[in-house]
Amino acid sequence: MVTDNAKNMIKACEILQIRHVPCFAHSINLTVQDCLASEYVKPILEKCKRIVAFFKSSTIAYAKFREAQNCERPYSLKQECPTRWNSAFYMVERILITKVAIASVLLNTPKGLMPLTSDEISILEDLKALLSPFEHATVHTSSSTSVTVSSVIPVVCGILHNLSALKSKLQTKVGRDVCDDLLQGVNKRLVPYESRTVTRMTTILDHRFKKEGSWNPFNSSQGVKSLEEELSHINAQTKSSTSSNPPTPEPTAESNLLFSFLQANKNQKIQSDRVDSILALRHYLNGTNLEPAQNPLDYWKISNDTAFKTCVLNTSAFRPLPLKVNECLARQDWL
């Protein structure tokens, strides 16, 4: 079950003993909202909101703003919505695109608002750069027509890499402080998805990512162990339901004499479903990864590795689905 991060929802899943995964998009929203509410970001966002409100409340000012852009298809301004963090990102992005037109109209409007200063513009540029990875992550993981659960861990990994690379390129101290807050929030709210069995296993089963999609190698190795246990269990069930023995010919005197030792050796041979699972999993992990833009379900549809494919499509990460596997594949659902 996927829910928001409210404690009553989490407790309900515990009482019902239902496997629970917090909504990743909601976790992103909480991470960014904490940052946007900080004392060094809130004032400049409030100023941006006042500027947008001024233009939207004045027909004359808005007409001058569109005219000042001097283009066939002038941009409009976007106002922040408190319940959606990315609305703040879109507001900042649009203000930066039209900053010259905004300043021109405000400076020529009697008793108008003060335009943004160059320092404030620099802060907004830093904010846009820092929030861009989160906006892409929100759009990517909110899709209802493509695989999402298996990309949660790689998305977190991508956010961390982007923030780390951006930190040295930021223009302002406010930007650097925001970056530190975002990194702290990501480690608090998003990195724990790497410790969840469902997200670990589905990431490994996604042919685009496998073990290379995790931030911490330990988490990917733990996911492989969980998958080995699942595959071992399924292999045992498959063998017990499909096992059959070939017809046994009558033994000859020569075979009794020369090969009598074979029966004793066969009795000592260790049969292990886990070994079969490890070999199948190793073969899969050593294969070439798909490109990130490809659909991982396409791989499993055409895969010739029937033994491992059967194990994969029956792992516990997919069992809660109310539909049969083939129906899920047809619908492109994968959770």
Integer Cα distance of 187 and 160 in angstroms: 9
Strand partners, 165: none
Nearest to 311 by CA among 222, 205, 197: 205
Strand partners, 21: 2
**Alpha-carbon torsion (161, 293, 132, 197), positive or negative:** negative
Tokens of 95: 């203000």
Integer Cα distance of 333 and 18 in angstroms: 19
The whole-number pLDDT of residue 294 equals 80
The whole-number pLDDT of residue 146 equals 77
Per-residue pLDDT of the chain (335 residues; tens, 9 = 90+): 888 888 899 899 889 988 888 889 889 999 999 888 888 899 999 999 999 999 988 889 889 999 998 888 989 999 888 778 888 999 999 999 999 999 999 998 887 788 899 999 999 999 999 999 999 888 888 877 777 888 899 889 889 989 998 988 998 999 999 999 999 999 999 999 988 888 888 888 888 888 888 888 888 888 888 887 777 777 676 665 554 555 555 655 554 555 555 566 656 655 556 666 777 777 777 878 888 878 777 777 777 665 566 555 554 444 443 434 444 444 444 43
3-class state of residue 219 by DSSP: helix
**Alpha-carbon torsion (191, 192, 195, 199), positive or negative:** negative
- CA separation (Å) from 239 to 88, 153, 242, 243, 298? 56, 33, 5, 5, 27
CB crowding 5-32: b at 16 or more within 10 Å, else e: eeeebeeebeeeeeebbbbbbbbbbbbb
DSSP assignment of 137-157, as one string? HHHHHT-SSS--GGGHHHHHH
The whole-number pLDDT of residue 186 equals 93
CA atoms lying within 13 Å on the CB side of residue 80:
21
Burial of residue 328 (CB within 10 Å: 0-12, 13-18, 19+) is middle
Q: What share of the chain is helix, strand, coil (3-state, %, to 5)?
A: 70, 0, 30
- What does the DSSP 8-state code read for residue 85? H
CA angle 145, 149, 155 (to 5 degrees): 100
Tokens of 76: 């409009």
204, 207, 209, 212: CA torsion to nearest 10: 70
Q: Is the pTM of this model over 0.85?
A: no
Tokens of 293: 């833009």
Helix 42-57 vs helix 85-97: crossing angle, to nearest 10: 70
Hey, how many other C-beta atoms are within 10 angstroms of the C-beta on 137? 23
The region, left, alpha or beta by phi > 0 then psi within -120 to 50, assigned to residue 2 is beta
Hey, how many other C-beta atoms are within 10 angstroms of the C-beta on 41? 19
The whole-number pLDDT of residue 333 equals 43
Cβ pair 91, 52 in contact under 8 A: yes
CA 89 to chain centre: 19
Integer Cα distance of 210 and 188 in angstroms: 24
* Residue whose token pair is 């041979």: 269
